[in-house]
């Protein structure tokens, strides 16, 4: 009887020990699980902080770039394009503009037509030749000094008011930009020649626009010149051609002398 009692007591003690051990182990496991669960938000927080710092750096870089890009801004056109002046040269939406409102510095001298302009013209000239037509550049780049000579010669012949309708004052001529040229006869006789009609219908395909188109005299400030081409690139030239626009209309700027 006593032996049985001792056996039962021993068993009870062992069961209690196992229970305590189990409880202790479970407590440790739960604590470990809790620790692991706590580590997740800590890691996420660190990652979020790193992401935020990266975002702040990117934003700072963007702000710095915007500041650099806008340092040359002098206004906004009626089309919402930024007007910038870089080393005295005016650009609207990245396009150089030279007219009665926006002159070039007297020192501006690219030395001739740009390579892009020459390449585009060579392609246009070859296609015209394939169609049995002959177009050539009669007048291209002009220095400030040469334009000064031409303008004053026209003033002495026709008077200032008349000269201002067909000749630019020195510094206000697109010829100084290296982006334009005059074709063939450089007069109204070119308009109705086969070459003139072909150029009018096809110049935009090569990136050129008729710079002073018919019916836009009050906007461009110059009479119609079918022979005067300006390079702006195929996409813009085609858009302007399809929408019957001059460069001033496309960019949303004026062309008027101050006096």
Instruction: Pull the structure tokens for residue 235.
Output: 């996409």
What is the share, in percent, of the chain residues with pLDDT greater than 70? 73
Tens of pLDDT along 55-111?
A: 555 554 444 333 445 689 999 999 999 999 999 999 999 999 999 999 999 999 999
pLDDT at residue 37, rounded to an integer: 44
| Interior angle at CA 228, CA 227 and CA 230, nearest 5 | 135
Q: Is 225 a catalytic residue?
A: yes
Tens of pLDDT along 112-149?
A: 999 999 999 999 999 999 999 999 999 999 999 999 99
Best CA proximity match to 228, nearest among 139, 127, 125: 139
The Cα–Cα gap between 230 and 117 comes to 9
CB 144 within 8 A of CB 200: no
Instruction: Pull the structure tokens for residue 165.
Output: 């309708």
Q: Is residue 53 predicted with pLDDT exceeding 60?
A: no
pLDDT at residue 50, rounded to an integer: 53
- In order of 39, 117, 211, the CA distances from 240 in angstroms are 62, 18, 11
CA 113 to centroid of chain Cα atoms: 22
The Cα–Cα gap between 57 and 203 comes to 47
Q: One of 84, 174, 195, 225 is an active-site residue; which one?
A: 225
- List alpha helices for the chain, DSSP H: 2-70, 115-130, 144-158, 160-163, 194-202, 217-220, 234-242, 247-251
């Amino acid at each position: 009887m006593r032996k049985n009692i001792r056996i039962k007591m021993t068993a009870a003690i062992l069961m209690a020990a196992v229970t305590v051990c189990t409880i202790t182990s479970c407590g440790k496991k739960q604590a470990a699980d809790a620790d692991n669960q706590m580590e997740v938000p800590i890691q996420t927080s660190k990652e979020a902080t790193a992401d935020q710092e990266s975002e702040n750096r990117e934003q700072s870089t963007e702000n710095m770039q915007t500041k650099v890009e806008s340092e040359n801004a002098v206004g906004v056109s009626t089309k919402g394009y930024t007007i910038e002046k870089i080393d005295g040269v005016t650009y609207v939406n990245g396009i150089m503009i030279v007219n009665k409102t926006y002159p070039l510095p007297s020192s501006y001298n690219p030395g001739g037509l740009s390579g892009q302009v020459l390449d585009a013209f060579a392609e246009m000239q070859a296609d015209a030749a394939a169609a049995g037509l002959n177009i050539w550049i009669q007048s291209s780049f002009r220095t400030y000094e040469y334009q000064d000579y031409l303008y004053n010669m026209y003033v002495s012949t026709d008077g200032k008011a008349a000269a201002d309708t067909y000749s630019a004052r020195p510094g206000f001529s697109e010829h100084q930009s290296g982006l334009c040229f005059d074709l063939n006869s450089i007069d109204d006789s070119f308009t109705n020649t086969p070459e003139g009609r072909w150029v009018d219908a096809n110049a935009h395909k090569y990136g050129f626009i008729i710079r002073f188109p018919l019916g836009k005299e009050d906007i461009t400030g110059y009479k119609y010149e079918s022979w005067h081409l300006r390079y702006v690139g195929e996409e813009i030239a085609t858009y302007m051609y399809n929408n019957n626009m001059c460069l001033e209309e496309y960019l949303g700027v004026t062309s008027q002398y101050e006096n």
